[in-house]
Each structure stands twice: as structure tokens, then as C-alpha cells.
């Protein structure tokens, strides 16, 4: 019993330590910590937002790009449970100027391979653009695969850690690129409406276009490689051109009504548990029933699939295996049960909109040569979107006008001032001489003036200045708005009473009492 309690205490302490590490690490670094990472003549400018995005300034002091950490925006956990924090320096054209490792706790580098290989990996980003298809891996042979893929050499024995770091860099960079470089803010993302319930079956999904199917024949894939050294490197495609090379089904299973029609009760329960934890992830189910498959033998679960990529609006979508056991609904066709299935996840916070059209890209590989073969690839694109009725979208919070905030912030002062002014006018009377013969006129007057100096003047700063009427005249002459007067409602009330008093009684009210 004592041994069990000791184990529980140790596990609890470790858990608390990991949670505290993650919580502390998520706080963006300050200027003093980040400035040494910026190589002259570039320098660190002003901080742009609360997520640790800074301006990058050139030698002339003009904006040249952005500096940010990956952890505050894309805290993907590594094997240690703590995110890998990387500093990214991006120019205004979305090109990587520099990528540097700040902190991590990956066991393979801490106590195994050492830090140098991890630092060297990030040097490969320099000069590449976020619009390129950057993947971790090394193509075999000396030839190119003919695709737009850009390979970053991984670190032997640490592939998973490197891929997690790569996904963090891409996710954070995509978020900055969408918000700062596209000219349009992404706005609140759409998310599945968990309260929406609609009875659906597989036939309904297919008929309504909620499932996308794309078939590619052997002849079509042969046409992609025609004229290359890989043209005859697929004997099955050559001998059976009418056969099916790829038969892919794509369905967004984030909405409960769709997931219920696709998954078995057991897999549906596991998906609900996953989405209860990963509340910002959108799960995408892909099923392939022909001979292509979905991943290579080198694929590692819970990382990015090596044959699948995606994009939306010209920007890549960061996909990652959700590592969920997949068992399909019994009502689905038998061919789907026999196919290769994968549930991928992408973070909606990084700009993915499931209700807008996006493109899934499948890479087909061919090898040429026996020893150290050259790899060729062709891409197959499938577009998909899900009807908006299954989703909710938070309305963008409109900032309260500054004058409304000013009224709210000074509500108590304005009430006291209003009570005082009404009471003063009532005390003085319509002719302002009611107190003139009062036996306690002097102490009453001094008391009122003391309140005016203390509350209206020192506390409320309700001091009238020539600047205000000059500002009004200039604004009227230029056809501008007089809303700026509302920014100081306390002084505006004094002005209103002063002008009213001048019209009714001349300068007596203001000069004598205010």
C-alpha cells in the first residue's frame, strides 16, 4: 500500500511539473530575451499582439517583417509533454529569414544525440517561403521527384521530434501569414455545432455532397508520368490501364450528425473524447479503397502523413494524424470497410474554415532504378467543403466606441457632478441672487468653491480651455466629426452648463461659482 501511495505521489508530482512547464512556457518572451536572437542590421520593433508577434525593422527603421515564437500560437506537445519553442523571423513576402531553436525538453536531444543536430535542422528553413510545400524527409537517389515539394533533412533517430517541431513552425507561421500578410483578418473560425442534430445515413451524405469521392485510373496516373524516366516503372498500371489506382473518400466528421452516420459506436465515443480534449481541432476522415493507400511504411502515428497534404486559400493546411482507432458504421459499403482509413486533424485556430472549399493533395510515388532509386511523384487534387448548417461561427467582437468607454469609466463622477450642478442652480435661484443676503453666505460660498476646486478641478480635471473651442471650430471647418468631445464627458458637462448659464445669466454662473 505504501509503495502504491509513493507511486501516486511521484506521478502526481511529475504531472504537475509538466503542466507548470507548459503554462510557464506559453507566456511570450520579453524584448530583452528576444533581441539577442536578431542579427544586425535587422532589429526588433514594437510588439504587435498578445501572442508574442513583434515587428522586424531594417537598418533604416522601416518594417521588414515579423518576429514571433511558435509556442504561444502553436503549442504542439513533444514527447516530453512540453512544446518545442522556436523563434521565427519572417520577411514581408512570407520568406524565412531565420529560424532558431529557443527551448525544448525532447529526451533524444537532451540526453542522447546532443543539441547540435536539432539546432542545425532549423537552419534549413532560411530562404524558403511558407507558400512552398515543406516536408521533412529525404528523397532517395540523385534525381528529383518532379514535384513542388521541398525536403528538409530530418535527424536520424529523432524523426518524430523533428516533425513535431516542423509542424509547430508551419502552424505558427501560417497564422501570422494569414493575419498579417493577406490583408484580411481570418476572423473567428467556424466550429461544429454540437447541438445540431439531423438524422443522416451514408446515402444521405453521398447525395448531399457531404462526402467527396475521387477516382483515378491507372491510365490517368500513367499520363502524369508520361515522358519521364518513371513512365514504365509501374507494371500493374501499364498492364491494366483501366484498373483503379486511387479511390479516395473524404468526409469531415467534426459535426456529430455526420460522424454518427460514418463511425461505429465505439469509434464515435473515442472521437467525442478526442474532441473534448482537442476542442480546436477539426477531424477529417479519409478512406482509400484502391491500391495506392494513404501512407508509406515510414509513416509515424500522430505526425503529418507523408503522402497527404492540403491547402486552402493559397496557404497550406497543417494536417496531423489524430491517432484514433477507426471502425466504420456497419451500414457503410463493404469496400469501405476493407480500405485504408485515417483520421486527420487540423487546427481551426490557424485559419482553417471547414465550410469553405479546401484542397486535399495526394502524392503518388514511383521509383526508378534498383540501387539508390530515383523517386518521382505526381499529385492528385481533391476539393471538399462541408455545408455551413453543421457549424457555428462566433461573431467578431466589435470594440466598444471610445466615447462609450469614457462614459462608463466616469459614470460615478458624472452622477456626482450632475447632482452638484442641479443643486447649485436650485440653491442660487433663477436670478442667481437668492444667497446674496444669507447670514452664512461666506462659509456657504467658500464651501462650494472648495468642492469645485477639489472635486471638479483636481479630481475630475474638468477644466475649460481655449483648446476645446478652437478644436471645435477647426473640426467644423474641415467637415470632421465632433465625437472627440465625448472622450472627456466630465469637461463636456461643465462646458454645457457654462454655455447655458452664459445665455441665461451672462458670465455670473461660471465666473462666480464654477
Is the pLDDT assigned to residue 1 strictly greater than 50? no
CA 417 to chain centre: 46
Per-residue pLDDT, averaged over 38-51, amounts to: 87
Is the pLDDT assigned to residue 58 strictly greater than 60? yes
Q: How confident is the model at residue 434 (pLDDT cuts 50, 70, 90)?
A: confident
Give the model confidence (pLDDT) of 121-144 as tens digits.
999 999 998 877 777 765 544 444
Q: Is residue 132 exposed (0-12), middle (13-18) or buried (19+ Cβ within 10 Å)?
A: middle
Q: Distance (Å, rounded) from C-alpha 233 to C-alpha 225?
A: 9
Query: Which positions ≥6 away from 163 have C-beta within 8 Å?
Result: 136, 154, 300, 303, 304
Cell, residue 174: 501560417
Angle of helix 411-428 relative to helix 402-409, nearest 10 degrees?
70
Q: Is residue 44 exposed (0-12), middle (13-18) or buried (19+ Cβ within 10 Å)?
A: middle
Residue 124 and residue 152 in contact, taking contact as beta carbons nearer than 8 Å: yes
Residue 257 and residue 198 in contact, taking contact as beta carbons nearer than 8 Å: yes
Q: How confident is the model at residue 145, as a pLDDT?
A: 45
Residue 511 and residue 447 in contact, taking contact as beta carbons nearer than 8 Å: no
Q: How confident is the model at residue 74 (pLDDT cuts 50, 70, 90)?
A: confident
Q: How confident is the model at residue 230, as a pLDDT?
A: 93
SS3 for 125-182 is: HCCCECCCEEEECCCCCCCCCCCCEEEECCCCCCHHHHHHHHHHHHHHHHHHHHHHCC
Q: How confident is the model at residue 5, as a pLDDT?
A: 41
Q: What percent of the chain has pLDDT over 90?
A: 34
Per-residue pLDDT, averaged over 345-356, amounts to: 84
Per-residue pLDDT, averaged over 426-454, amounts to: 81
Q: Which of the two residues, 342 and 157, has the higher pLDDT score?
A: 342
- Which of 23-27, 28-32, 161-165, 355-359 bottoms out in mean pLDDT, i.e. has the lowest? 23-27
Cell, residue 201: 445515413
Q: How confident is the model at residue 22, as a pLDDT?
A: 41
Query: Which positions ≥6 away from 130 have C-beta within 8 Å?
Result: 90, 94, 95, 96, 170, 173, 174, 177, 315, 316
Residue 99 β-bridge partners: 88
Give the model confidence (pLDDT) of 198-237 as tens digits.
999 999 999 999 999 999 999 999 999 999 999 999 999 9
Per-residue pLDDT, averaged over 427-431, amounts to: 76
Cell, residue 247: 479511390
Q: Which of the two residues, 114 and 333, has the higher pLDDT score?
A: 333
Average pLDDT for the chain: 82
- Which of 104-108, 205-209, 397-401, 450-454 bottoms out in mean pLDDT, i.e. has the lowest? 397-401
Residue 103 and residue 37 in contact, taking contact as beta carbons nearer than 8 Å: no
Query: Which bin fits 242, alpha (ψ -120 to 50), beta or left (φ > 0)?
Result: alpha
Q: How confident is the model at residue 188, as a pLDDT?
A: 64
> Which DSSP category does 186 fall into?
-
Is the pLDDT assigned to residue 461 strictly greater than 60? yes
Is the pLDDT assigned to residue 9 strictly greater than 50? no
Q: Kindly provide the residue ranges of all beta strands, DSSP E only, lying in 445-510, ordered along the sequence.
A: none
Is the pLDDT assigned to residue 23 strictly greater than 60? no
Q: Distance (Å, rounded) from C-alpha 510 to C-alpha 514?
A: 5
Is the pLDDT assigned to residue 194 strictly greater than 50? yes
Q: How confident is the model at residue 483 (pLDDT cuts 50, 70, 90)?
A: low
The three-state secondary structure class of 504 is helix
Distance set, CA 342 to CA 136, 326, 352, 353 (Å): 20, 7, 19, 20
Q: Which of 37-41, 326-330, 423-427 has the highest mean pLDDT?
A: 326-330
Per-residue pLDDT, averaged over 426-430, amounts to: 78
- Which of 210-219, 255-264, 461-470 bottoms out in mean pLDDT, i.e. has the lowest? 461-470
Q: How confident is the model at residue 81, as a pLDDT?
A: 64
Q: How confident is the model at residue 122, as a pLDDT?
A: 92
> Which DSSP category does 399 fall into?
P
Residue 203 φ then ψ, to 5°? -65, -40
Residue 136 and residue 166 in contact, taking contact as beta carbons nearer than 8 Å: yes
Q: Distance (Å, rounded) from C-alpha 425 to C-alpha 423?
A: 6
Q: How confident is the model at residue 269, as a pLDDT?
A: 94
DSSP 190-238: EEE-TT------HHHHHHTTSEEEEEEEHHHHHHHHTTSTTTTS-HHHH
Q: Distance (Å, rounded) from C-alpha 308 to C-alpha 211?
A: 18
Residue 368 β-bridge partners: 374
Q: Distance (Å, rounded) from C-alpha 179 to C-alpha 185?
A: 5
For residues 387-424, one letter each, b for 16 or more C-beta atoms within 10 angstroms of the residue's C-beta and e for the rest, the string is eeebbeeeeeeeeeeebeebeeebeebbeebeeebeeb
Amino acid at each position: 500500500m505504501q509503495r502504491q501511495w509513493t507511486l501516486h505521489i511521484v506521478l502526481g508530482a511529475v504531472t504537475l511539473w509538466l503542466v507548470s512547464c507548459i503554462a510557464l512556457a506559453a507566456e511570450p518572451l520579453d524584448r530583452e530575451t528576444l533581441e539577442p536572437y536578431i542579427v544586425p542590421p535587422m532589429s526588433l520593433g514594437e510588439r504587435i499582439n498578445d501572442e508574442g508577434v513583434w515587428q522586424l525593422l531594417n537598418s533604416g527603421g522601416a518594417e521588414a517583417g515579423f518576429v514571433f515564437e511558435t509556442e504561444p500560437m502553436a503549442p504542439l506537445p513533444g514527447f516530453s509533454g512540453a512544446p518545442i519553442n522556436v523563434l521565427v523571423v519572417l520577411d514581408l513576402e512570407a520568406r524565412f529569414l531565420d529560424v532558431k531553436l529557443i527551448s525544448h525538453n525532447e529526451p533524444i536531444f537532451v540526453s542522447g544525440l546532443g543539441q547540435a543536430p536539432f539546432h542545425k535542422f532549423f537552419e534549413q528553413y532560411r530562404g524558403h517561403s511558407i507558400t512552398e510545400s515543406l516536408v521533412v524527409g529525404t528523397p532517395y537517389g540523385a534525381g528529383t521527384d518532379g514535384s513542388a515539394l521541398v525536403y528538409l533533412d530530418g535527424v536520424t533517430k529523432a524523426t518524430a521530434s523533428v516533425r513535431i517541431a516542423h509542424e509547430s513552425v508551419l502552424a505558427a507561421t501560417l497564422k501570422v501569414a494569414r493575419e498579417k500578410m493577406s490583408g484580411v483578418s481570418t476572423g473567428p473560425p467556424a466550429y461544429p455545432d454540437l447541438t445540431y442534430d439531423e438524422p443522416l445515413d451514408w446515402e444521405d451524405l453521398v447525395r448531399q455532397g457531404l462526402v467527396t469521392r475521387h477516382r483515378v485510373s491507372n491510365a490517368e496516373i500513367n499520363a502524369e508520368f508520361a515522358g519521364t524516366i518513371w513512365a514504365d516503372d509501374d507494371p500493374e498500371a501499364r498492364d491494366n490501364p483501366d484498373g483503379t489506382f486511387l479511390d479516395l473518400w473524404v468526409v469531415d466528421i467534426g459535426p456529430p450528425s455526420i460522424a454518427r452516420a460514418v463511425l461505429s459506436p465505439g469509434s464515435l465515443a473515442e472521437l467525442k473524447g478526442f474532441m473534448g480534449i482537442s476542442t480546436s481541432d477539426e477531424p477529417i476522415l479519409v478512406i482509400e479503397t484502391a491500391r495506392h493507400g494513404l501512407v508509406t511504411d515510414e509513416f509515424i502515428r500522430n505526425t503529418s502523413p507523408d503522402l497527404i497534404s492540403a491547402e486552402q486559400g493559397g496557404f497550406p493546411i497543417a494536417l496531423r494524424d489524430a491517432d484514433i482507432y477507426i471502425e466504420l458504421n456497419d451500414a457503410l459499403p463493404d469496400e469501405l470497410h476493407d480500405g485504408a482509413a485515417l483520421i486527420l486533424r487540423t487546427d481551426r485556430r490557424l485559419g482553417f474554415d471547414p465550410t469553405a472549399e479546401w484542397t486535399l493533395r495526394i502524392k503518388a510515388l514511383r521509383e526508378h532504378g534498383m540501387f539508390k532509386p530515383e523517386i518521382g511523384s505526381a499529385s492528385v487534387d481533391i476539393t471538399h467543403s462541408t455545408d455551413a448548417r453543421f457549424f457555428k461561427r462566433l461573431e467578431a467582437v466589435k470594440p466598444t466606441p471610445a466615447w462609450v468607454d469614457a462614459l462608463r469609466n466616469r459614470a460615478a463622477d458624472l452622477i456626482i457632478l450632475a447632482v452638484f450642478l442641479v443643486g447649485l442652480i436650485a440653491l442660487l435661484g433663477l436670478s442667481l441672487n437668492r444667497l446674496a443676503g444669507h447670514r452664512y453666505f461666506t462659509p456657504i460660498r467658500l464651501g462650494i468653491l472648495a468642492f469645485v476646486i477639489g472635486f471638479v478641478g483636481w479630481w475630475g480635471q474638468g477644466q475649460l480651455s481655449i483648446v476645446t473651442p478652437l478644436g471645435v471650430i477647426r473640426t467644423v471647418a474641415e467637415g470632421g466629426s465632433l465625437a472627440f468631445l465625448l472622450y472627456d464627458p466630465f469637461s463636456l458637462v461643465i462646458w454645457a452648463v457654462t454655455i447655458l448659464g452664459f445665455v441665461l445669466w451672462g458670465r455670473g454662473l461660471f465666473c462666480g461659482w464654477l
